[in-house]
């Protein structure tokens, strides 16, 4: 029995293939990617190319969460937080490690979004869109919460319990992937405005105290740049 994956054109109608191709082009243009995470974008486009929309949905949630964290890492890495050297020596940490591993506070997705709002990077009216995608798509898929996924208020509707599974994925899954990619694109735009997307990302340190303060970057004591760079 052949288990070869058919070309998209043999799986979906022409209009659906065009929608998938447009999403793939947008994924190719995403720039706010943590070191080592580029392969996730390659895999996401690979799933789309193969018509594996459920897998693409799961990867879209992963990319969104990672890009949110990466925005905070790059932004806070540009600031050396405190004047008191003794305090800095006590609290300075690698920003990526801080946002990934801190237990107090614990930087879950919702808290990261709230912090972006507090820093003035993300408009409060947009924050709910990020949280809704995470709550209604990322969490149910990641944890296999079938009942929640099939709830009437969720974007999937009766996706996993309906006999027309493939048809529903085609109709709704692509649109949800598109929404997730749009959210990541908005983080890209924020990073560009804050001038923190570059070929060689800024490397630096940030005090947890400053990171939790909600202060904008301009209030930091120092700005850390690449050697020979400008603040």
Predicted confidence at residue 200, as pLDDT, reads: 39
How far is it, in rounded angstroms, from Cα 219 to Cα 32?
24
Q: What is the 3-state secondary structure (H, E, C) of 61-93?
A: HHHHHHHHHHHHHHHHCCEECCCCHHHHHHHCE
Task: Check: pTM over 0.85? Answer yes or no.
Answer: no
Predicted confidence at residue 136, as pLDDT, reads: 85
How far is it, in rounded angstroms, from Cα 141 to Cα 67?
18
210: buried, middle or exposed (CB in 10 Å: 19+, 13-18, 0-12)? buried
Asked if residue 116 has a cis previous peptide bond (ω within 30° of 0), the answer is: no
Residue 49: count of CB within 10 angstroms of its CB: 15
Predicted confidence at residue 117, as pLDDT, reads: 93
Q: Minimal CA–CA distance to 114: which of 72, 80, 75?
A: 72
Per-residue pLDDT tens digits of the chain, which is 231 residues long: 557 788 899 988 999 999 999 999 999 999 888 888 899 999 999 999 999 998 999 999 999 999 999 998 888 776 544 443 433 433 456 778 878 887 777 889 999 999 999 888 899 999 999 999 998 888 877 766 555 555 545 555 555 455 445 666 677 889 999 999 999 999 999 988 877 754 334 333 334 444 444 444 444 433 333 333 333
Domains of the chain, residue spans: 8-214
How far is it, in rounded angstroms, from Cα 48 to Cα 5?
12
125: buried, middle or exposed (CB in 10 Å: 19+, 13-18, 0-12)? exposed
How far is it, in rounded angstroms, from Cα 177 to Cα 182?
9
Six token digits for residue 196: 């923190």
CA 163 vs CA 23, 49, 51, 168, 172: distances in Å = 27, 24, 19, 9, 15
Residue 226: count of CB within 10 angstroms of its CB: 12
């Amino acid at each position: 029995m052949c288990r070869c994956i058919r070309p998209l054109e043999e799986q979906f109608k022409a209009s659906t293939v065009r929608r998938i191709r447009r999403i793939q082009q947008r994924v190719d243009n995403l720039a706010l990617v943590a070191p080592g995470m580029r392969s996730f974008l390659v895999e996401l486009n690979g799933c789309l190319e193969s018509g594996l929309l459920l897998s693409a949905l799961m990867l879209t949630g992963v990319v969104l969460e990672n890009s949110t964290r990466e925005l905070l890492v790059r932004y806070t890495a540009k600031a050396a937080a405190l004047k008191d050297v003794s305090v800095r020596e006590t609290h300075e940490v690698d920003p990526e490690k801080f946002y990934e591993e801190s237990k107090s506070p614990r930087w879950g997705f919702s808290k990261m979004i709230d912090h972006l709002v507090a820093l003035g990077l993300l408009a409060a009216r947009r924050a709910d869109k990020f949280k809704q995608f995470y709550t209604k798509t990322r969490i149910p898929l990641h944890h296999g919460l079938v009942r929640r996924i099939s709830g009437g208020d969720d974007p999937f509707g009766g996706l996993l319990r309906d006999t027309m599974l493939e048809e529903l994925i085609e109709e709704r899954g692509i649109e949800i992937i598109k929404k997730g990619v749009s959210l990541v694109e908005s983080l890209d735009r924020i990073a560009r405005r804050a001038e923190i997307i570059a070929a060689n990302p800024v490397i630096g340190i940030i005090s947890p105290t400053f990171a939790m303060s909600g202060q904008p970057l301009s209030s930091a004591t120092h700005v850390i740049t690449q050697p020979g760079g400008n603040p």
